[in-house]
């Protein structure tokens, strides 16, 4: 109880600081060396996981920090980042019981394992990621009176959830906020959602965009023409790429529904669905029934290293998810020089700027989606102008080195507010 009281006091102190970290990547370093323990639910191939592994790699390699990554197993059809993380050389502690789904016994066991690990390591700060690990990790840090930072990669309570799950996660997030010294949001929209839901005051949030290795998007490892040939695309085809798991809430159904109108107006359009998942057979059957099979290309599961060359092979990037903090594919597409078409969901509007970088559409819209794709398909000049603007505006903003330096500044502020 005493430990929890101290954490609440720390969190109250954290209300007093908030500063913009977007444009300055470096700052005088009061803590040239840190031991940081990251906690994430699982190391599948996904945006939050790639963000976390990149942060760990940078802190370990570029700052010389002692880094520990505490994670559940990388289970799932999406593929795993575990081997990449192990190759980076920082410490990894795998907790077999930690899984995404709620399970009282496994969750309690995971919590106890995190406590034991943190007690042995005694890091300077705990940085949690994802919903499950975010709650268990912050609770464990509070138990041991270790400062904690939590990154919101996507809201744990969101549109499309069962009402019971929505209310449960919102309640848990309000509770866990008492154990958190600072929040990092991957977009301003997530901050607004959490503040509106009463999770914590705005002063405890800092936006740090989710960084990536931008070089392969600027200069893909293999030529565009080679990849297009492998995909069966000719010079006449206009390829619309969507990068996402074939899963619920990812919005493939809207793209498939809009495809009929697109193809009727622009028969040379091809849709490239990058990723795999449990809904593949359902989508393939639906596409076949509408007579559009020749217009869709399924790449299946691909390693993250192939994403840049696949996006480069496309002409337009589409994002039709119903919920997602700030999908990494949006800046990836823009950095690759591609115009983007996206539903106006969460942080999309922070990079999809109408008439500058792409089209921002009402969520679940079909006619507007089809019209946007056709407009771009019929105008190479417009595609070039929007893509070039996006590349210029967002390449430096989304470099992973910029992200890691900004995250470390948040750590420094927290540690300065909590001297040992």
Structure confidence at residue 291 (pLDDT): 97
One domain, residues 62 and 131: yes
One domain, residues 187 and 260: no
Structure confidence at residue 30 (pLDDT): 64
One domain, residues 98 and 195: yes
Rounded mean pLDDT, 37-66: 95
Q: Is the pLDDT of residue 10 over 50?
A: no
One domain, residues 206 and 263: no
One domain, residues 181 and 41: yes
* pLDDT band per the 50, 70, 90 thresholds, residue 17: very low
Name the domain count of the chain.
2
Rounded mean pLDDT, 43-63: 94
One domain, residues 164 and 202: yes
One domain, residues 12 and 58: yes
Q: Which tens digit of pLDDT belongs to each residue from 75-123? A: 777 778 999 999 999 999 999 999 888 788 999 999 999 999 999 999 9
* pLDDT band per the 50, 70, 90 thresholds, residue 420: low
One domain, residues 221 and 143: no
pLDDT > 90 fraction of the chain, expressed in percent and rounded = 79
Rounded mean pLDDT, 344-363: 96
One domain, residues 224 and 326: yes
pTM of the model as a whole: 0.84
Q: What is the CATH number of the domain that holds 74?
A: 3.40.50.2000
Structure confidence at residue 133 (pLDDT): 94
Q: Is the pLDDT of residue 153 over 60?
A: yes
Q: Is the pLDDT of residue 29 over 90?
A: no
One domain, residues 267 and 350: yes
3-state secondary structure the chain: CHHHHHHHHHHHHHCCCCCCCCCCCCCCCCCCCCEEEEEEEECECCHHHHHHHHHHHHHHHCCCCEEEEEEECCCCCCCECHHHHHHCCCEEEECCCCCCCCCHHHHHHHHHHHHHHHHHHCCCEEEEECHHHHHHHHHHHHHCCCCEEEEECCCCCCCCCCHHHHHHHHHHHHHHHHHCCEEEECCHHHHHHHHHCCCCCHHHEEECCCCECCHHHHCCCCCHHHHHHHHCCCCCCEEEEEECCCCCCCCHHHHHHHHHHHHHHCCCEEEEEEECCCCHHHHHHHHHHCCCHHHEEEEECCCHHHHHHHHHHCCEEEECCCCCCCCCHHHHHHHCCCCEEEECCHHHHHCCCECCCEEEECCCCCHHHHHHHHHHHCCHHHHHHHHHHHHHHHCCCCEHHHHHHHHHHHHHHHHHHCCC
Rounded mean pLDDT, 367-383: 98
Rounded mean pLDDT, 366-373: 98
Structure confidence at residue 156 (pLDDT): 83
Give the range of the structural domain holding residue 98, as residue numbers without chain letter.
2-211+400-417
Q: Is the pLDDT of residue 2 over 60?
A: no
Q: Is the pLDDT of residue 24 over 70?
A: no
One domain, residues 182 and 310: no
Q: Is the pLDDT of residue 127 over 70?
A: yes
Rounded mean pLDDT, 157-168: 82
One domain, residues 233 and 373: yes
């Amino acid at each position: 109880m005493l430990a929890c009281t101290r954490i609440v006091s720390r969190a109250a102190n954290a209300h007093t600081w908030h500063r913009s970290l977007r444009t300055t990547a470096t700052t005088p370093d009061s803590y040239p060396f840190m031991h940081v323990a990251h906690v994430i639910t699982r190391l599948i191939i996904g945006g939050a996981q790639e963000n976390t592994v990149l942060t760990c790699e940078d802190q370990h390699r570029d700052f010389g920090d002692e880094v520990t990554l505490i994670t559940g197993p990388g289970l799932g059809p999406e593929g795993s980042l575990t081997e990449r993380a192990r190759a980076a050389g920082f410490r990894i502690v795998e907790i077999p019981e930690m899984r995404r789904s709620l399970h009282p016994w496994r969750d309690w066991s995971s919590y106890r394992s995190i406590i034991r690990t943190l007690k042995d390591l005694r890091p300077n700060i705990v940085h949690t990621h994802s919903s499950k690990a975010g709650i268990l990790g912050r609770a464990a840090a509070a138990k041991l009176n270790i400062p904690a930072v939590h990154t919101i990669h996507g809201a744990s309570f969101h549109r499309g959830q069962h009402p019971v799950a929505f209310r449960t996660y919102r309640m848990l997030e309000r509770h866990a906020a008492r154990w958190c010294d600072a929040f990092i949001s991957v977009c301003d929209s997530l901050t607004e959602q959490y503040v509106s839901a009463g999770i914590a005051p705005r002063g405890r949030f800092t936006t740090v965009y989710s960084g990536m290795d931008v070089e392969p998007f600027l200069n893909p490892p293999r030529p565009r023409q080679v990849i297009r040939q492998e995909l069966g695309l000719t010079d006449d085809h206009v390829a619309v790429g969507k990068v996402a798991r074939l899963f619920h809430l990812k919005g493939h159904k809207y793209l498939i529904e809009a495809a009929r109108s697109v193809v009727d107006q622009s028969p040379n359009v091809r849709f490239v669905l990058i990723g795999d998942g449990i809904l593949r057979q359902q989508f393939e059957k639906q596409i076949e029934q509408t007579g559009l099979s020749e217009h869709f290309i399924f790449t299946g599961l691909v390693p993250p290293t192939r994403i840049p060359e696949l996006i480069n092979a496309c002409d337009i990037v589409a994002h039709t998810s119903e919920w997602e903090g700030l999908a990494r594919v949006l800046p990836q597409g823009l950095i690759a020089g591609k115009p983007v078409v996206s539903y106006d969901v969460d942080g999309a509007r922070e990079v999809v700027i109408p008439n500058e970088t792409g089209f921002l559409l009402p969520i679940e819209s079909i006619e507007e989606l089809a019209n946007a794709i056709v407009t771009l398909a019929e105008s190479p000049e417009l595609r070039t102008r929007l893509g070039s603007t996006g590349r210029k505006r967002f390449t430096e903003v989304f470099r992973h080195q910029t992200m890691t330096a900004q995250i470390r500044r948040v750590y420094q502020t927290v540690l300065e507010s909590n001297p040992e």
